[in-house]
Amino acid sequence: MKVYYSISEVAEMLGVNQSLLRYWETEFSDLKPTKNARGVRMYRQEDIDLLRRIHHLTKERGLTLEGTREQLRKSDDTDNMQVIETLKELRAFLVDIKSNL
């Protein structure tokens, strides 16, 4: 498993534009990817987990940025995100099986 991921890799993982990741970085103070000497953003797994939570709350649940910040402040739903990711993988697997029938 890699320690650091580039912004392009993270954007691809989440299915969003790199510019959205840079924007979220300005909106969420807890999101601070490290930067190398050339200023290239390098995301750790913790950053990616936070981005997944932000993505879920804004894009899938439809919360505003303020609502997302509030939700992140009041509850640590890391376990919920793991369940959601597992369910998404299961759904994709089942859709694949169905399409092969």
43 close to 82: Cβ distance less than 8 angstroms: no
Surface-to-core class of residue 76, CB atoms within 10 Å of its CB (0-12 exposed, 13-18 middle, 19+ buried): exposed
- pLDDT at position 88 is 86
Q: Would you give per-residue pLDDT tens digits along the chain (101 residues)? A: 789 999 999 999 999 999 999 999 999 999 999 998 999 999 999 999 999 999 999 998 999 999 999 988 886 656 576 777 788 889 999 999 999 98
**Domains of the chain, start order:** 5-75 (1.10.1660.10)
pLDDT on residue 33: 95
Residue 78's pLDDT is 60
pTM: 0.73
Listing DSSP states for 17-43 in one string gives: -HHHHHHHHHH-TT---EE-TT--EEE
Q: Identify the pLDDT of residue 84.
A: 77
Long-range contacts of 28-33 (CB under 8 A, 24+ apart): 28/54, 28/68, 28/69, 28/72, 30/72, 33/7
pLDDT score at 16: 96
Instruction: Identify residue 38 by its one-letter amino acid code.
Output: R
Per the CB < 8 A criterion, the answer to whether 47 and 33 are in contact is: yes
